[in-house]
Structure 1
Amino acid sequence: MATVTSSAESRLDPRRWWALGALVASMLVLGFDMTILNVALPTIAADLGASTGQQQWMADAYIVVFAALMLPAGLLGDRFGRRRMLIGGLGVFLAASLVGALASDVTWVVVARALMGVGGAFVMPLAMSVLPSLFPRDEQTRAIGMISAASALGMPLGPIIGGWLLNHFWWGSVFVLNVPMVAIGITACLFLLPESRDPAAPKVDTVSTALTTLGLGSLIYAIIEGPGRGWSDALVVGGFAAAVVLLTGLVLRERRGTRPMLDLSLLAHRGFLSNALAATLGMFVLAGVLFLLPQYLQAVLGTDALGTGVRIVPLMGGMLLAARLAQPLVVRFGARSVVSAALVVLAFAAFLGARTTVDSGYGFTALWLSIAGVGVAFAMIPAMGGAMAALDKDQAGRGSGLLSTVRQTGSALGVALLGALVAGAYTDRLSTAGLTGPAAETARDSVTGAHVVAARLGDHALAASANSAYVHGMDLALVVIGVVALAAALLSAALMPGRVLPVGLSSSAAEVAPISADA
């Protein structure tokens, strides 16, 4: 049983709402960072000469580290003090944001993003776990809802705020934005949060944590580096081999452990597995599209950073609309019907988007983006509720941790796989005739690099070729999304339980959870 060092009187301290406000500000920052960097990537690529693969690392470094450390971070908080570890996580996040803002090359941006993943992995679970030491039971639901809503709100605001900052300041400003808000969170935690811990909490499994981090990192490395180095390159093949060995070792260790960090036996529950796959596919699509789309909007359509942020809103708008309507539909038709239909809608949106040409314009993009947002949210929200409903109450904690981890893995794979597909197709289609070695290499690195070279040389043919090549690659990625979504729809219809979920499983928390920062 948890031992809480704060007294009952301190829980009812009126300052608890100020503490909650600081936690909300911190969670808003995590929401921003789910989407704000995507808008900045083309600008960073142009300034630092980042290739498509390097841009993928900027996005994925955060996700991979977050996915690997979220569960052990929660356990460390339980054992050594949730307040202490939350402050530590916020401190790491703040320091990493400063590193990102001051970075002068791609490597330091990637390092900063990885360190932000470390901090975020502590902040997300511990911001929730400190609430029982602040609020009585009848106020906890409201507090949880406010924190969840803050992280969910940050996602649609991130591209807009990031675009405005990029139009007025340098790209490092998207990192500086975090600093004052996180500093407020640290100060509030120092003076307003009581300490709480659970001495009976299990020890952190450092071996499993290392296997998860290195295995997932090796897999992502091989996928991202494949198009540039070649799929037969020794480092790429070695990355895949290392991933197989490390992840196999993780599975064997978790299956044999008495208290596994990741309870993989839960995947034997058909209802949990099918719903988890649907929720993970949603994150795969969301992360992949958010990575690819800003480059299309800025390089091909020529919009500025703020215009790009605004033009991503239809995707988020479709998701928020579906989040409000998902529960009534699940109650009426059942999760299986809603999730299967939503995946078909997502497939339709992807196949529609795959008809994009260089001359399509934004109106067509807004149409398929809106439909895709509806499909993603209608699939993810009931699937998350269905996954948890498939488990017994004593399995809920382990199920939630496993579900969060596989969803984060889906995000990382979305950026890596779809980005690699686009990078390979772009390089194959791009015409660099007449360019010297360095100029041709820069143009092949990314569509942004091609436009930089074209502007410097006045080469309109190169810009046109780059636009055509990138759109071709994006269309291929959308076809893959459509095929995978259709396959997932068939699996969902065949494997998901047909019962209607209880109303209480969705409500406010489920509406925002799939689009919150832990998603």
Structure 2
Amino acid sequence: MNTPAQPTVRKTAQKLLILSAVCLAALAMPLSFTGPAVALPAISDDLGGSPIALSWVTNAFMLSFGSCLMAAGALADRFGRKRVFIAGIAGFGLTSLALSAAPDTVWLAFLRAAQGVAGAAALSGGMAALAQEFEGQAATRAFSLLGTTFGVGLAFGPVLAGFLIQHHGWRSVFLSATAIAACALVSGARCMRESRDPAAAGLDWPGAATFTGALALFTYAVLSAPENGWSSPPVIIQLTGAVVLLAAFIVIERSVRTPMLDLSLFRYPRFVGVQFLAAAPAYSYVVLQVLLPIRLIGIEGYSAMEAGRMMIALSAPMLVVPLLAGQLTRWLTAGFISGLGLLVCAGGLLWLAQCAPGQPGAALVLPMLTIGLGISLPWGLMDGLAVSVVPRERAGMATGIFSTTRVAGEGIALAIVGAVLTGLAESRLHGLHIAGPATALPEAAHRLAMGDLPRAMSLLPQAGQHALVQAYGDAFHLQLYILAAITVVSAALVFGFLSHSRLPHRSGSAPEPA
């Protein structure tokens, strides 16, 4: 005979299993981001490819992932959060398996784009499902645990990737994502309950198409600019096309009955502040997940395993600090904690800028820990703030908009930072009076930015390795100063828009845009 407590126990256990399924899916996402970044030199050695083609190994995933999150959130509200989650995590596992057998960089980029689409469906469906299962302080704890899970993936992804590359080759990195996705699929299929928004309408296909097209054209233009020049006709055409598609997207969203993105939300200061907060980690933290492995392996000569171990310093605070930040909301507002974390992160970037290539690896550890500590403070609070800006039944829209801003911003940031680093490296090569053919200097700078020091030396044999490393170090130094400045500005905006913003259970009111 069942006691009254037994149904409650079963319901709690079911919620925990749902949380574990979503966290497993969330764990696979940073692994799929950091792993290929560590594997990029090995992929280049095995498959070859131009710098642009190799850039798409990371950017194709981020671009498709970011551009599809809003659409996936709308689909989750309409057709069911469980259904979208299961379809997404199954597709993610299958594309990860296919990536392990990719024959060249073209297939690799194509499959990475497909993997990003599936990942968007899994994350949007899973986060929207969590928003329906947990309320108040329980929701804060759940989303903080989700942030910690991301931290685990970011912290140990490079180590796992380095170990797998060293012992089993770069293809095994994608097989590990397949295994995690399979576990999430089994858990989610067994315990997740179906939920949807009864008022949700169909997907805004014109809006989704124009938004994705604008992102794709802009990203491709930024990636190709270092090679072709910002004033070249192809780049100008791509940038113009991106602007036209973005304008078309805005017109569509203002005219359709059920837009993918409700532009009226931007009239609320707190909603605008959350979007600034979502974009801030891209320049203060996420780009380092790609730039640092490239520097450590390609420029400084560390093995993939050694570089992976060093990257733990950047992401280790993610294991505990997001949970501690959730507890700090008892006394401080989430907005204030987030802005403070960004300032700490900016200090770490300035500290890291003083570490030139060739210094002992131990010199990088403390600045990397400082950056990780700073970004971990808002990391566990951002998702909860995002859900709080719209009514609970529009959780799919809220998480979709926030995650799109965050991930699309990361993809754009990667492209922009890569282009800026290439430009700075080329400028330093000119400053060192390194002569060469007209086309050799820009390509050598691009190869340096990608960590391909041997190819850069073959293009400029008269320069010597020391001069090329010095040019890269100077460019990296200036790049970190730029990133620190962007992070300080982001912190100021977060303080201005969100300094009084608490998580829903702290404010004692229903989630409303304000």
TM-score (norm 2): 0.83
**Measured at CA, do residues 104 and 127 of structure 1 come closer, stay the same or move farther in structure 2, by a change above 3 Å?**
same
Is 1:378 the counterpart of 2:377? The answer is yes
After TM superposition, the structure 1 = structure 2 runs for residues 38-437 of structure 1, keeping only pairs within 5 Å, are 38-80=37-79, 82-129=81-128, 149-186=148-185, 200-382=199-381, 385-386=384-385, 389=388, 398-430=397-429
Higher mean alpha-carbon deviation, 47-56 vs 156-165, is at: 47-56
**Aligned sequence identity (%):** 28
**2-structure distance, mates of 1:169, 1:327:** 39
Deviates more, 1:102-111 or 1:76-85: 76-85
- Contact 2:349–2:367 (8 Å) recurs in 1: yes
Counterpart selection for 1:484 from 474, 483, 486? 486
Q: How far has the Cα of 1:226 moved from its partner? A: 0.7
Q: Deviations over 1:117-147 (max 9, x none)?
A: 01101111223455699x8999996877766
Match of 1:512? none
For residues 226-258 of structure 1, the C-alpha deviation after alignment (integer angstroms, 9 at most, x for no partner) is: 111111111111111111111111122223333
- Matching residue's letter, 2:273: S
Give the aligned partner of residue 472 of structure 2. 470
Tell me: CA distance 1:138–1:357, structure 2 relative to 1, closer, same or farther (3 Å).
closer
1:446-499 CA-partner distances (Å, limit 9, x unpaired) = 236743348999979633233222222222221111111222333344x22543
- Most deviating of 173-182 and 12-21: 12-21
2:500 alignment partner in structure 1: 499
* C-alpha spacing 1:143/1:354, structure 2 compared with 1 (3 Å): closer
CA contact (8 A) 1:284 1:412 kept: no
C-alpha contact (below 8 Å) 1:442/1:449 kept by paired residues: no
Deviations 1:268-298, CA, capped at 9 Å, x for gaps:
2122212321331123322211111111111
**Aligned residue identity for 1:73:** A
After superposition, the C-alpha distances for 1:372-413 in whole angstroms (9 at most, x for unaligned) are: 122223345556555555656677654333222111122112
Letter in 1 for 2:156: L
Question: 1:52 offset after TM fit, Å?
Answer: 4.0
What is residue 27 of structure 2 aligned with on the other side? Answer: 28
Which residue identity is paired with 1:483? A
Does 2:450 match 1:451?
no
Deviates more, 1:203-212 or 1:24-33: 24-33
Quick one: structure 1 residues 264 and 32, their matched pair in 2 at CA, closer, same or farther if it must change by over 3 Å? same
Instruction: For 1:48, give the aligned amino acid.
Output: L
The 10-residue stretch of structure 1 (439-448 or 249-258) with the greater mean CA deviation from structure 2: 439-448
Q: Which residue is 2:3 aligned to?
A: none
- List per-residue Cα deviations over 1:172-221 (Å, max 9, x = no partner): 11112122333344456666666665665310111011011101111111
Asked whether the 8 Å contact 2:276–2:493 carries over to 1, the reply is: no
Helix, strand or coil: the match of 1:245? helix
> 1:139, 1:370 → 2: CA distance?
29
1:323-344 deviation line (CA, Å, top 9, x unaligned): 2442454543444543443333
Q: How far apart in 2 are the matches of 1:338 and 1:202?
A: 37
Q: Distance in 1 between matches of 2:52 and 2:166?
A: 25
Give the alignment's TM-score, normalised by structure 1: 0.82
Unaligned runs of 5+ in 2: 1-6, 508-514
Larger deviation: 259-268 or 306-315? 259-268
Q: Distance in 1 between matches of 2:99 and 2:304?
A: 19
Q: Cα distance 1:423–1:505, how it changes in 2: closer, same or farther (>3 A)? A: farther
Q: 1:330 and 1:233, CA in 2 relative to 1: closer, same or farther beyond 3 A?
A: same
Deviates more, 1:400-409 or 1:304-313: 400-409
SS at match of 1:332: coil
